[in-house]
Every structure is written in C-alpha cells, then in structure tokens.
Structure 1
Amino acid sequence: MSGTLTRTAPARATRDPLATATRERARRRKDGAAALTLLGPSLVILAVMVGYPAVLMVVQSFTDYSIRDKVQGTVPDVVGFANYLEVFTASDFPAVLVRSLGLMLVMTILIVGLGALVAVLMTRLTRGWRLLVSVGLLLAWAMPPLAATTVWGWIFDAQYGLVNWLLNAVTGTTDFTNHSWLLDPWSFFVVLTIIVVWQGVPFAAFTLYAALGQVPGEVLEAASLDGATGIRRFRLVVYPFLRNVVTVVVVLQVIWNLRIFTQVYTLQQRGGLASETNVLGTYIFRQGVGEFGVTSAIGVLTVILLLALSWGYVRTTLKEEEL
C-alpha cells in the first residue's frame, strides 16, 4: 500500500500589531532625527539669513519706524494697517504693481516661448552647430546684468547708438538722429524687455533642451507613423514629458522677472524717467528715504504676490507627482 505523506507547514508566529507599530514609530523617529541632524546647519543659516529679516520686515510694516527712530534709538509706534492703506491710497504703488505684472507677463511668455523654440532647434542641429549655439547662449547668460544693460544702452544711445545709425541708413533720412529711446516710457520698456529676454532665453533653452532628451524616441516614432503632425506630436506626446520642467521654468521666470532691478535702474540712469518707469524693485529702492515702515509694507505685499503667483503651479506639480 502506497500513500503520499503530506507535511503540514508549521504556522508562522502571528506578529503583534502593537509591537510592529511601536517599532515603526521608533524607526520614523530615528530617521527624522538623522534628517534633522543633516539639515540642521542649513536650517540655522536659513533662519538667520531669511527667517529673521522676514519676521523683522513683517513687524516693521505695522509700525511708523523711520530713520529718526534708528538715529535716536527710540521705539516706533504701532500703527496697524495704516502703512498698507497708505501704500494703496496715497502712493504710486498700484500703478507700479500693474506695470510690473504686465512686464512680467510679457517677458515670461517671450522667454519661455523663445527658449522652447531654441531647444527644439538644438535637437535638429548637427553637433558642430549645436556647440556654436550653446557657446553663444552661455556668453549671453554669463554676462552680468549691469554689463549687459550698459552694452545695450550704448546700442540704443541717442547720439552714438547703432540702432539710430542703422535706421537713418535704411530710411535715408536723419529723423532718428539724437532720438532717445529711453525718454518715452513705451520705448524704454521695449529696450528693457529686449535686455531681460536676451539674458533669460539661455536658461529656458538649456533646461528645456535637457528635458527633450528624456522623451523616448520610440514614442515619437510611433506618433509619426500614426500620422501626427509636428504640432500635434509636441502637444500630445512631447509636452506631457516636459510639463513638470516647464512648470519649474515658468515659476522661476515669474519670480525673476518680477524682481528685476539692475536693468531698470541702469536704464533710468541713462535717461529714463524714474517716475514713469519704476517697477517693484526700483520703487522700493526709491521709496521715501528712511520710511522703513511703509517700505516694509511694500516688501510684505511683494512677497505675498510672489507666493500667490507661484503656489498654483507648485501645487499642481506636487499633485501630479503623487498620482
């Protein structure tokens, strides 16, 4: 008589849920302590360099702190929201804010759009041409804003500018002799936009070019075989791979373009009217000398505006990464 012996595997010891949860909490505390230890020096530096000035700015925005209090060592009076009311009702801040937002929008669209076009172009160039374009972009990107603005200021100079000379040569007249491009606010902002976009495109182009390299070639080939045109391939195939990178580029450009100072201030020194060409950066700089309370209120409003403009994009990106 033959039979098959069946062995019953010994039952595994049942884990204690309470002990497991305790060990998990202990592990998380240990990991948290290790992470805090590694991040400690950076957090201290951020607290000193960013946290303290930010808190001080918020506190001063609710006082009438001025140069007199600083010199005499007196304590300023608390004025509540009076500084914020003054900013919106008794100053040029609303006009400067609208002007800054408009410039930021135009510059961001041009920088991201032109950067995307240059990035796509670099994917189609041969190695030699791609290297030449990269060097040119790096030179524009590496030039300090003050030096770049000075060079462009001479190009648009009223007396010795290359632009006026070319326009006179093309039109065969002398209508553009001694024509000031910086005196009129509209042409001032055209020159300013050219300078900022010229220096901003390289960052967007390099970033988007690197992102384009992550798009699978077989996906693009399949889309081409299915008859998708170039625009449809970019919109339906390429852009989903670039969405997070584009979000980062847009957020950074929004912040940088809303904080421009050097280019505006330098052009104003070359002949622009400060009262009609101020943006947030130069407006805060030129705000009443020693009126720290009002200036702090403008600074708080600027920070809130930057957070509001960038938070939507960041939240969307975080939600997509969780999916």
Structure 2
Amino acid sequence: MSAADTTTPAKVPPPRQAPPPPADEPPRVSRPSGGAAVPWLLLAPCLLILALVMGYPLARLVTLSFQRFGQSQLWGFQPAESVGFDNFAKVLGDGEFWTVVVRTIVFAAGAVVFTMVIGMAIALLLQRVSGWLKVLINIVLVASWGMPVIVATTVFKWLFDSDYGVFNALLSKLPGVEMIGHNWFASGPEGLAVIMLLVVWGAVPFVVITLSAGLTQVPKELEEAARLDGAGSWGVFRYVTLPVLKPIIVMLTTLSVIWDMGVFPQVFVMRGGHPEPEFQVLNTYSYDRAFVVNDYAQGSAIALITVLLLLGVVAVYMRQMLKIGEVE
C-alpha cells in the first residue's frame, strides 16, 4: 500500500440547516396622535348639556341651603345672608323630618320589593307562553310603561274613588264585603298603599323587559344538568337562574331604590297638589317647605340631605355597572 493510500480522508462538515422563517407578526396599528382626546371631544356636547341642566341647579341648591332665603330675598327686598349650617341643624332637629324619612324609606322598600317580585314572576311566565302571546304581553307592557305619570295617576284616582271607583265596586261583589263609599285616602297607610300600587304598576314593565332579556342568557345546558341531578323548578331557579341574573337584579334593585326614593308626581297629583302630613315623603316635604312655607333655604337643605342619602345607593349602582363592564 502506498503512502498516499494510508492518509485519512478529510471529514466534510454537514450542511447547515436554514433557520426557520420568522413567524408572521401582526401588523402594528399606528395610533393617531391625540387619540386619547377623541372620546372626550365626542362627549363634550353631552357633558356641556349635563353641566348646564344639572350642574347649575345643583350648585344653586348647595348655595341656598347655607343661606337665609325667603320671599324678601326672592323679590330683592333684602340680600341673602349666609347662616352656615343653621338650616341643616333645624332640619335634623325636627322630629317631623325624621318621620318623613322613615315613611319614605318604608314606602321605597315596599315598592322595590313588590316591583322586583312581580317583575321576576312575569318574566319567568313569559318564558313559558307561546310566541304570539309573548309579543302581545310585551306590547301591553311597553304601552303601560310609556303612559305619562299624570295620566296614570288620574286613572288610579278614578279606580279608587270612594263613590265611583271600579275597585270598590269589584270588591263589593265578594260575599260579605261592602266597600261602596270607602275612602282609601282617609288614612295615611291605605292611601300610601294605593300610591305604592301606582308606582309598582309603572315600574314593573321595565323590570320585566330587562329580566326577560337576561333570562335568554341563562345556559340551557346548566338548567338541564341541574334537572338531571334531581333539582326541581325551585332548585334550578335558585342555583342556576339567580346566579346568572345577579348583576342585572342588583342593577334593577338599585335603580328602583333611586326612583322610588324620589317619588313626587304620584303623591302630589294623587292628593290634588296638597299632600297631607301623613302622605309626605322627602320630595314633597322639601317642596312643601320651599313653596308653601316659602322657606326656600330650608327646602334646599332637605333636598340636599336627600341627595346625600341617595349617594350611597348611586355608589352601589356605579360599582355594579363597572363590574358588569369588566365581565364583558
């Protein structure tokens, strides 16, 4: 063997593999300069209108509540004087005011409970009726919801009239019941019960329509699984339907509290513009002190206290709305 044959052959390195192609990156969207200001520019007209319509009256309300302001100041005979917290001290030290506060809270609580219970019951029943009947009921609900408050109040005054009321005539047809001539507004509790019925009647359509929309989002698979596990109708409602509807129920309850605490036209019109002391709620009481007694400062103080009482309810509502937005 020759020397050339004994030499070791050179090793050839393996070819390098080409690197994998880079993954497709999503195109970067360039945000225009000043993009954060665009939403505020779009909201500016609405915010300006709200500031004019609500901001100025609220600021004026706060100013009046710290002044002595009556007929003399209204007509310019005397200047308005700053009295500090004297108006609030008089209001908070008045036993009649606290009676009105308790009456308003009881009235609002009763109206909210009845509204939510009746609204939930009707919404659940709408899930079990035929299509044409559901459409008919929704039309009736929207029509009653759109009825002006003054018209609805006038209708209820006629329904519960002591001499010509339809409700008394229907009750009198029951065996052993004689209600002809019965005056429902002779006592505060009975009269407020009628007004509460009017408030509930006007609020139920909104609750029914909103809950009906929420019920369409309840997963049918969960309901079927609960039934297979042996849950009855109440069990399915308690452990499946209610948890899904909880955000909507909290939102509706909060709105109902705000609306029912602010009831005014129903009481005012039902009592002919002069609510008796046993029919006074916070809004009518504030109006009475301002425009009947002509103490505008004290009426403003009562209205401001009412706003402060409702701020806690508004905070709950806003918190719930933010939670719903985060879930979405």
In the alignment, does 2:34 pair up with 1:4? no
Tell me: CA distance 1:288–1:300, structure 2 relative to 1, closer, same or farther (3 Å): closer
Measured on the aligned residues, the alpha-carbon RMSD in Å equals 2.5
What's the CA shift for 1:216?
2.0
In the alignment, does 2:290 pair up with 1:279? no
Structure 2 residue corresponding to 1:301, chosen from 301, 305, 326? 305
What's the CA shift for 1:3?
0.5
Distance 1:96 1:212 in 2: 38
Distance 1:309 1:60 in 2: 24
Aligned length: 307
**Cα deviation 1:96-120 (Å, max 9, x = unaligned):** 1110110100000110111011001
Tell me: CA distance 1:51–1:101, structure 2 relative to 1, closer, same or farther (3 Å): same
Question: Contact 1:185–1:273 (CA<8 Å) still a contact in 2?
Answer: no
- The amino acid across from 2:174 in the alignment is V
Tell me: CA distance 1:108–1:129, structure 2 relative to 1, closer, same or farther (3 Å): same
What's the CA shift for 1:48?
0.9
Distance 1:138 1:280 in 2: 29
In the alignment, does 2:243 pair up with 1:240? yes
What's the CA shift for 1:235?
2.1
What's the CA shift for 1:64?
0.8
Structure 2 residue corresponding to 1:102, chosen from 100, 106, 126? 106
What's the CA shift for 1:67?
2.5
Tell me: CA distance 1:176–1:296, structure 2 relative to 1, closer, same or farther (3 Å): same
What's the CA shift for 1:222?
2.0
In the alignment, does 2:200 pair up with 1:197? yes
Distance 1:186 1:37 in 2: 51
Structure 1 residue ranges without an equivalent (≥5):
12-25
Using CA pairs under 8 Å that are at least 6 residues apart, name the structure with larger relative contact order, 1 or 2: 1
Percent identical pairs in the alignment equals: 33
- For 1:119, the equivalent position in structure 2 comes to 123
What's the CA shift for 1:220?
1.8
What's the CA shift for 1:181?
0.7
- The amino acid across from 1:85 in the alignment is A
SS at match of 1:75: coil
- For 2:135, the equivalent position in structure 1 comes to 131
Question: Contact 1:183–1:273 (CA<8 Å) still a contact in 2?
Answer: no
What's the CA shift for 1:226?
2.1
What's the CA shift for 1:136?
2.3
- The amino acid across from 2:268 in the alignment is Y
SS at match of 1:147: helix
Distance 2:33 2:253 in 1: 37
**Cα deviation 1:228-286 (Å, max 9, x = unaligned):** 2222222222222212211221111111111111111122129x861111111211221
Structure 2 length-normalised TM: 0.85
- For 1:18, the equivalent position in structure 2 comes to none
- For 2:181, the equivalent position in structure 1 comes to 178
What's the CA shift for 1:221?
1.8
- For 1:147, the equivalent position in structure 2 comes to 151
Deviates more, 1:238-247 or 1:43-52: 238-247
Tell me: CA distance 1:100–1:29, structure 2 relative to 1, closer, same or farther (3 Å): farther
Tell me: CA distance 1:205–1:128, structure 2 relative to 1, closer, same or farther (3 Å): same
**Cα deviation 1:198-232 (Å, max 9, x = unaligned):** 11111100100011111222222222222222222
Distance 1:228 1:67 in 2: 67
* Pairs within 5 Å for 1:8-87: 30-72=34-76, 74-87=78-91
Question: Contact 1:284–1:298 (CA<8 Å) still a contact in 2?
Answer: yes
What's the CA shift for 1:129?
1.7
Distance 1:10 1:232 in 2: 57
What's the CA shift for 1:317?
5.0
- For 2:269, the equivalent position in structure 1 comes to 266
Tell me: CA distance 1:10–1:126, structure 2 relative to 1, closer, same or farther (3 Å): closer
Structure 1 length-normalised TM: 0.87
Question: Contact 1:65–1:292 (CA<8 Å) still a contact in 2?
Answer: yes
**Cα deviation 1:134-154 (Å, max 9, x = unaligned):** 222223212211111111111
**Cα deviation 1:82-102 (Å, max 9, x = unaligned):** 101111223622111110110
